[in-house]
Chain A
Amino acid sequence: MSPDEILGLSCTQLAAAIRERRTTALASMEAVLERAREVQPKLNCFLRIDEDRALEAARQADRQPARGPLHGEPMAHKDMYYREGVASSCGSKILRERPAPATATALERLDAAGAIQFGVLNMTEFALGPTGHNWHYGHCRNPWNPERITGGSSSGTGASVAARANFAGLGSDTGGSIRLPAAMCGTSAIKPTYARVSRAGAMPLSHSLDTVGPLTRTVEDAALIAQLISGPDPRDPTCDPRPVPNWVNEIEKPVKGLRVGRPRQHFYDECDPQIAAAMGASLESFGRLGAKIVEVDLPELTAYSAAAVFISTAEAATLHREWLRTRADDYSDQVRGRLMQGLAIPATAYIDALRLRGTALAEFCAQVFSKVDLLHAPVLGIATPTIAETELGWSERTAAVLARITRLTRPGSYLGLPTVCANAGYSRDGMPIGLQLVARPFDEATALRAGHAFQRATDWHLRQPGL
């Protein structure tokens, strides 16, 4: 296979090609490294590429029997998944030289499946921001238009996967950090149910909300990778103990009869008409697949988002308090300002935000999932902003700009709901438009099945940016 043919494959397809000896791990690694070198000056999506080590690992993989379903697959991840003894910058100046204390469980599981990590990816400083700006290492740029933001905080994962400089990579999501870059860069993704994937060895931002998940080229790949990294982990006491269903085997089940909900409130308030039109077209696709489209009323989501901000900001400020005291100048202005805000949140507001969560989830499920199997909605209701117009220090105005970006993702973080993302079309100026399929807790299977069926019926996910 030629390098271009290799780079055009999904993870699932590449794994089969390596297994069937139509290509090799080494050829795949050489192709992706060449592509990474080519796009890096334009996109700044990598923070480090471990070329020599990755090539040697690929040579070894070709000499060994298959280790698992990702045998020989090149992957790079957001630079906040620790490898023991290696520095993970977490997009920050503060951690750029600190050796990581232990390897992340998610990385150990991908290693065991045969994946080969070849680098680490740009991200928002300490994963605190939805745009993809990074004032220490340079902003990551969108492959569809380098003047636009990638979305964040998993900026490099979204950009590298979209640019075909990475087959798939881990992101993390506290308020939208997987879903937003997936939508803005036009990739697929899954934010699993909160507590489905171990957070051990992943940089913490907000213990109550942080979720680990992959950004991928297809929903099928998202199912495969999420399957591999999910499940109980004694190293993460919050990780749910239930076994993980076989999402890959179930993904081909038809969606005929599935009830897909179109929200009457919140998600289409202030929505860009081009985005609303793409959502309408994608709902028609689901209709043609035999799904039943049902309009649903939602509870008031604004208070959920506000409660989520109390939780994430208070928890993040607690983790960063000592550095805010001793190394305040080593933070960018926006991140420093957001973190300091958390120091002024009263304990009662933080605890009430946590107390409301169970009630809110019960209310949402009763109102939505009693009527539909999935909620279908845009990820972002506004046109993808430019890097320049979102280049902001911390102020009340910045908070308003960022809140508009996370408006459709933060409620799902608060409720901890599993969400699959897929590209649903393009704006007139060529920017991807992302849809999200939100399921009840621990029902990733239904969202993955629906997302996969949608991609079988459309070709939006196959288009590549003309870099």
Chain B
Amino acid sequence: MNPTLAKTLIEEHGVQPSPTHVEATANILASLFKTTADPFARLPLEAEPAAFVLEQRRQAP
């Protein structure tokens, strides 16, 4: 994520970030996007958030 976009997204909420926080946000989110790109891309169409609760129950002893 580039810093200009990070700053705009935060400011859209009416919040004023410092330059240090903008820089950190841009770099940290870029790293998180990179780490999750592959597993997110492999998610099937049918994967949904509520599946976690079902899976918890399915795995219970």
Contact = CB atoms under 8 A, between A and B. Distances in A.
Q: Do A and B bind each other?
A: yes
Nearest to A344: B9
B47 A396 contact: no
A24 to B, nearest CB: 41
Contacts of B25: 337, 340-341, 344
Given A356-B47, A357-B52, A362-B55, A343 B36 contact: no
A77 interface: no
Given A325-B13, A359-B51, A440 B61 contact: yes
A87 interface: no
A86 interface: no
A306 B35 contact: yes
Contact of B59 (A343, A356, A393, A441): A441
Contacts of B18: 337
B46 to A, nearest CB: 9
B59 A365 contact: yes
Contact of B15 (A343, A393, A395, A398): A343
A344 B55 contact: no
A356 B56 contact: no
A307 B29 CA distance: 11
A352 interface: yes
A96 to B, nearest CB: 22
B52 A361 contact: yes
Contacts of A441: 55-57, 59-60
A209 B35 CA distance: 20
Contacts of B28: 341, 396, 399
Contact of A354 (B16, B20, B32, B52): B52
A324 interface: yes
Nearest to B61: A443
A343 B11 CA distance: 9
A306 B49 contact: no
B10 A361 contact: no
Interface string A276-290: 000000000000000
A349 B33 contact: yes
Contacts of A399: 24, 28
B18 to A, nearest CB: 8
Given A309-B32, A359-B47, A340 B17 contact: yes
Contacts of B27: 396
A449 to B, nearest CB: 12
B55 A358 contact: yes
Interface in A285-343: 302-303, 306-307, 309-310, 321, 324-325, 328, 336-337, 340-341, 343
25 contacts: A303-B36, A306-B32, A324-B15, A337-B24, A341-B21, A341-B28, A343-B12, A344-B10, A349-B32, A352-B40, A354-B52, A356-B36, A356-B39, A357-B49, A357-B52, A358-B52, A358-B54, A361-B56, A362-B55, A365-B59, A393-B20, A396-B24, A396-B27, A398-B24, A446-B61
